[in-house]
């Protein structure tokens, strides 16, 4: 007579399955782990016992035995920023397609929270980490913890060889250059930059693209027209007020949240876009069509960014030991109304 199943409320163990199927624990383990040396007769008995007892393998024990958890960690700086949900979706889809789960942490642009998130993910024995760094430098203890972890890291949106060899970034230089050139084509000549922190690699790239776009258009670069932000709407508002007091006729804003703050500041100052100034916003979203004016944007491929970061991480986990990879994703200029481009175009006769 087969043994009775485990009592209600108690999860069946591998020993219960072995007793039910009248085989050894090693045979059950071989079936669960997909080994091929088990005879069809024993395999059928084990599978029937698993179904009857509703057995679920102890994934933690298996992970410890194999030194892998099939879990990837991901740290983003601000989950409330509409940029990151699509990045996370792309990463999650790519991870699940290869049999991995994604464990998400939000650092809230806070160095202490970032350090705690790193400690948590390493304690959870994740196989690798996707990481968007906050603006400040890593604490020495945290940097040492990353080095000693011996697991692969892939950076997203910025590049720092002290943390990881591999990174996926947007071509921020090209995005800023294209935005600046479009403002010039729209007839703007006093163009300001509402940028990110210069210490971050993408902040530097956006500043350089802005500078070179002005130079290529024959316009002079004025450092007093460069304003530093932190990618939050509150900063866009406070810095935007100072920026608009210099009366630019064009503004390139390095993210959507700062653009929202900038437009709120303009409204309070009695300024209208695009009549008083045109603006190009970095990054695009489906709901931007409801804004007036409709924002001209430079779209960054957010979903693809998450997917590519996971691919690099999985390559390292699969054994790739070659040189570091820096993958740049191309932006796309999407022209709408906020530069007044159509209003400022010369008549057809003049264009001919």
- Which pLDDT belongs to residue 231? 87
- Which pLDDT belongs to residue 215? 96
- Among the residues of the chain, which ranges form H helices? 14-21, 25-32, 40-53, 59-66, 84-97, 111-123, 140-149, 172-185, 201-216, 233-244, 256-268, 302-317, 341-344, 348-351
- Which pLDDT belongs to residue 352? 37
Query: Which residues, at least 6 apart from 228, have a Cβ–Cβ distance to it below 8 Å?
Result: 195, 196, 197, 198, 203, 239
Helices 14-21, 40-53: inter-axial angle, 10-degree rounding:
120
- Which pLDDT belongs to residue 42? 87
Query: Which residues, at least 6 apart from 266, have a Cβ–Cβ distance to it below 8 Å?
Result: 240, 244, 272, 273, 276, 277
Note the pLDDT tens digit of each residue in 303-312: 999 999 999 9
- Which pLDDT belongs to residue 210? 95
Task: Tell me the HSE value of 37 on the side-chain side, using a 13 A CA sphere.
Answer: 4
Euclidean distance between CA atoms 260 and 245, whole angstroms: 17
Instruction: Determine the 3-state secondary structure of 280 from DSSP.
Output: strand
Cross-strand pairs, 76:
106
Task: Tell me the HSE value of 43 on the side-chain side, using a 13 A CA sphere.
Answer: 11
Euclidean distance between CA atoms 23 and 14, whole angstroms: 11
Across 268-294, b (16+ Cβ under 10 Å) vs e yields: eeeeebbeebbbbbbbbbeebeebebe
Residue ranges of domains in the chain, CATH in brackets: 14-57 (1.10.260.40), 69-171+303-330 (3.40.50.2300), 172-300+333-348 (3.40.50.2300)
- Which pLDDT belongs to residue 349? 39
Residue with tokens 């530069």: 339
Residue with tokens 């199927």: 21
pTM exceeding the 0.95 threshold for the entire prediction: no
Q: What is the mean pLDDT of each run of 10 residues along the chain (352 residues)?
A: 51 83 82 76 88 73 59 93 94 94 92 89 90 80 80 89 86 94 95 86 86 96 93 93 96 93 95 94 85 90 96 93 92 91 47 38
Q: What is the DSSP letter of 220?
A: P
Euclidean distance between CA atoms 253 and 233, whole angstroms: 11
Do residues 153 and 132 lie in contact, with contact meaning Cβ atoms separated by under 8 Å?
no
φ, ψ of residue 329 in degrees (nearest 5): -105, 135
- Which pLDDT belongs to residue 56? 75
Closest to 234 (Cα-Cα) out of 88, 78, 75: 78
């Amino acid at each position: 007579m087969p043994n009775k199943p485990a009592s209600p409320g108690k999860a069946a163990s591998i020993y219960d399955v072995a007793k039910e199927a009248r085989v050894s624990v090693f045979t059950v383990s071989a079936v669960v782990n997909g080994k091929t040396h088990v005879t069809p007769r024993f395999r059928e008995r084990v599978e029937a016992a698993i179904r009857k007892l509703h057995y679920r393998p102890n994934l933690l024990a298996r992970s410890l035995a194999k030194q892998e958890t099939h879990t990837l960690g991901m740290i983003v700086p601000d989950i409330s920023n509409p940029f990151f949900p699509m990045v996370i979706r792309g990463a999650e889809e790519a991870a699940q397609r290869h049999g991995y789960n994604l464990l998400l942490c939000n650092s809230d642009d806070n160095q202490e929270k970032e350090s705690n998130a790193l400690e948590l993910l390493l304690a959870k024995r994740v196989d690798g980490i996707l990481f968007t760094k906050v603006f400040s430098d890593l604490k020495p203890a945290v940097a040492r913890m990353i080095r000693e972890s011996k697991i692969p890291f892939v950076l997203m949106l910025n590049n720092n060889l002290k943390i990881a060899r591999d990174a996926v970034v947007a071509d921020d230089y090209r995005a800023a250059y294209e935005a600046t050139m479009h403002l010039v084509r729209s007839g703007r000549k006093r163009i300001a930059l509402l940028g990110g922190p210069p210490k971050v690699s993408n902040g530097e790239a956006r500043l350089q693209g802005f500078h070179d776009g002005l130079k290529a258009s024959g316009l002079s670069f004025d450092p007093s027209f460069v304003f530093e932000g932190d990618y939050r709407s509150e900063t866009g508002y406070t810095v935007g007020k100072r920026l608009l007091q210099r009366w630019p006729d064009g503004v390139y804003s390095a993210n959507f949240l700062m653009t929202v703050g900038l437009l709120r500041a303009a409204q309070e100052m009695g300024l209208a876009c695009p009549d008083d100034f045109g603006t190009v916003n970095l990054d695009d979203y489906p709901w931007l069509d409801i804004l007036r004016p409709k924002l001209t944007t430079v779209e960054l491929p957010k979903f693809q960014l998450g997917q590519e970061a996971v691919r690099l991480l999985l390559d390292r986990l699969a054994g790739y030991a070659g040189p570091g990879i820096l993958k740049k994703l191309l932006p796309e200029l999407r022209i709408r109304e906020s530069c007044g481009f159509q209003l400022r175009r010369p008549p057809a006769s003049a264009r001919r």
